[in-house]
């Protein structure tokens, strides 16, 4: 029994010695998670949520007051430009057009009569001219006979009076001709007035027939046959016959956070996903970047908001799909991931490896005191961005050395390293609390409990 107890005590002593040895070996070390700097393709993505919208759409409003007599299409139908889609009662308009056409026919008849009168007047003028010429010749023959005393003065006076009468008769027929021409011109003017009135009446009749302005899909029909519609009140109940959308060009209108909008530019590629179509990704490109900030809570533009409350803001971005699907419908919820930057084969490191260090504070933590001839407190220094790189000292122990790093584009989990590092450098990536208290040249030890992959996160 005593031997068993002695063996147990010996075993406990051995375990204690081993534990003491391990403790002494690990004393002064900080366990850290590490990764290696590697090269990879980096892509910066900005996300925004919104809805699917056609680039071209129109609310086809009522252009005439009356009852809807026919609806020739239904929701979901394809229509062609110029196709009749609805009609409103138009008995009065048709009667007005018919009456005006009758008036025009009557005026045309009057013009024909005036033209005939004008031709009669022209014939009378020709006759008067011939008669005047005859009377002039008779009077000229009479003058030498009268001077020779061959004819009596009464005969001479009769010839002279006949000539004067012929002159007056010609003037009268010319005046009648001018009057006939004036009557014809007046009748033509009245006819043009009637034709213009007919165009107005015909337009009023045409407005009772709704036609599609372009090739489109009927996406909404808020009225039914038999209901009365009114004109001139945009978006009011009873004023919109239907909504037409040209789905040949489809866009995703999304809102992007104000902190990301500076990186979004027209022409950048984007991947668009639709909640109603899981698994499908539509390629597109940015075609519009809004300049006006929108309040996130209301969607109103900041220029129209009367509230002085500071709140998060978004900007409108329109992404045009390169190859839209027939499954897309206006209003579907969508998410657009816009690629704002892309660099292939760049030196990168996990984002969580970056830390901000005050050089003077880090020097104080490491036990190295800077030379100073004054007892006044040192000026506050600017924190420096960098990472802790693992390096072996002369004794072969691992130490974490702080290295300033300048960075470039940011990916999902990694960031580009422009200066300060080289490929294959092993850096500290965590834990976060450990990195906050880590000092330069501190002894470290890899934490093998959570192995990491090169270029990946812990």
Domains of the chain, start order: 61-89+208-225 (2.40.50.100), 92-206 (1.10.287.470)
Given this model, what pLDDT does residue 23 score? 43
Measured torsion, CA atoms of residues 273, 279, 280, 285, in degrees rounded to the nearest 10: 40
Q: Using the structure block, give the residue that is written with the tokens 């009609």.
A: 87
CB atoms within 10 A of CB 3: 7
Measured torsion, CA atoms of residues 337, 338, 339, 341, in degrees rounded to the nearest 10: -130
- Give the gyration radius of the chain's Cα atoms: 50
DSSP one-letter code for 82: T
Number of H helices, E strands in the chain: 5, 20
Given this model, what pLDDT does residue 367 score? 47
Given this model, what pLDDT does residue 155 score? 85
Please list, in sequence order, all residues whose beta carbon lies within 8 angstroms of the beta carbon of residue 419, skipping any fewer than 6 positions away: 405, 406
Phi-psi region of 225 (alpha: psi -120 to 50; beta: other; left: phi over 0): beta
Please list, in sequence order, all residues whose beta carbon lies within 8 angstroms of the beta carbon of residue 108, skipping any fewer than 6 positions away: 191
List of E strands, 12-100? 30-36, 38-61, 66-71, 78-79, 84-88
Calpha distance 77→113 (Å, rounded) = 55
Q: Using the structure block, give the residue that is written with the tokens 């010609």.
A: 170
The pLDDT averaged over each successive group of 10 residues in the chain (458 residues) is 70 56 53 92 93 90 90 92 93 92 92 91 92 88 84 86 90 92 91 93 92 91 90 70 90 94 94 94 95 84 67 91 90 94 92 85 50 49 89 88 92 90 91 86 80 45
Measured torsion, CA atoms of residues 165, 169, 172, 173, in degrees rounded to the nearest 10: -170
Given this model, what pLDDT does residue 454 score? 45
Given this model, what pLDDT does residue 235 score? 59
Give first-to-last CA distance, the chain, whole Å. 52
Please list, in sequence order, all residues whose beta carbon lies within 8 angstroms of the beta carbon of residue 438, skipping any fewer than 6 positions away: 30, 32, 388, 400, 428, 444
């Amino acid at each position: 029994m005593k031997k068993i107890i002695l063996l147990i005590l010996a075993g406990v002593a051995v375990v204690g010695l081993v534990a003491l040895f391990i403790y002494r070996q690990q004393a002064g070390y900080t366990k850290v998670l590490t990764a290696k700097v590697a090269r990879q393709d980096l892509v910066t993505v900005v996300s925004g949520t919104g809805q699917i919208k056609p680039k071209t759409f129109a609310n086809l409003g009522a252009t005439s007051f009356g009852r809807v007599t026919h609806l020739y299409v239904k929701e979901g139908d394809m229509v062609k430009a110029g196709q009749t889609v609805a009609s409103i009662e138009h008995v009065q308009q048709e009667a007005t057009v018919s009456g005006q056409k009758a008036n025009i026919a009557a005026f045309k008849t009057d013009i024909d009569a005036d033209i005939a009168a004008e031709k009669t007047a022209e014939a009378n003028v020709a006759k008067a001219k011939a008669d005047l010429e005859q009377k002039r010749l008779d009077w000229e023959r009479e003058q030498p006979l009268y001077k020779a005393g061959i004819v009596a003065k009464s005969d001479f006076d009769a010839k002279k009076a006949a000539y004067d009468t012929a002159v007056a008769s010609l003037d009268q027929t010319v005046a009648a001709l001018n009057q006939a021409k004036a009557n014809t011109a007046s009748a033509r003017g009245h006819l043009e007035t009637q034709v213009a009135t007919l165009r107005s009446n015909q337009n009023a009749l045409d407005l009772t027939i709704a036609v599609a302005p372009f090739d489109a899909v009927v996406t909404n029909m808020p009225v039914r046959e038999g209901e009365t519609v009114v004109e001139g009140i945009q978006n009011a109940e009873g004023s919109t016959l239907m909504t037409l959308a040209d789905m040949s060009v489809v866009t995703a209108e999304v809102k992007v956070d104000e902190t990301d909008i500076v990186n979004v530019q027209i022409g950048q590629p984007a991947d668009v996903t639709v909640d109603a179509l899981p698994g499908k990704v539509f390629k597109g490109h940015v075609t519009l970047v809004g300049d006006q900030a929108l309040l996130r809570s209301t969607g109103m533009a900041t220029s129209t908001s009367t509230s002085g409350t500071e709140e998060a803001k978004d900007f409108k971005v329109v992404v045009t799909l390169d190859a839209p699907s027939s499954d897309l419908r206006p209003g579907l919820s969508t998410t657009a991931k816009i690629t704002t930057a892309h660099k292939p084969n760049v030196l990168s490191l996990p984002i969580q490896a970056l830390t901000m260090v005050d050089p003077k504070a880090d020097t104080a933590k490491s036990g190295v005191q800077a030379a100073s001839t004054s007892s006044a407190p040192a000026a506050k220094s600017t924190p420096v961005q960098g990472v802790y790189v693992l390096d072996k000292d002369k004794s072969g122990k691992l130490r974490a050395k702080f290295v300033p790093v300048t960075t470039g584009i940011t990916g999902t989990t990694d960031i580009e390293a422009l200066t300060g590092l080289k490929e294959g450098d092993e850096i500290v990536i965590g834990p976060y609390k450990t990195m906050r208290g880590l000092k330069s040249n501190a002894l470290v030890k890899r934490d093998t409990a959570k192995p990491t992959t090169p270029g990946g996160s812990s």
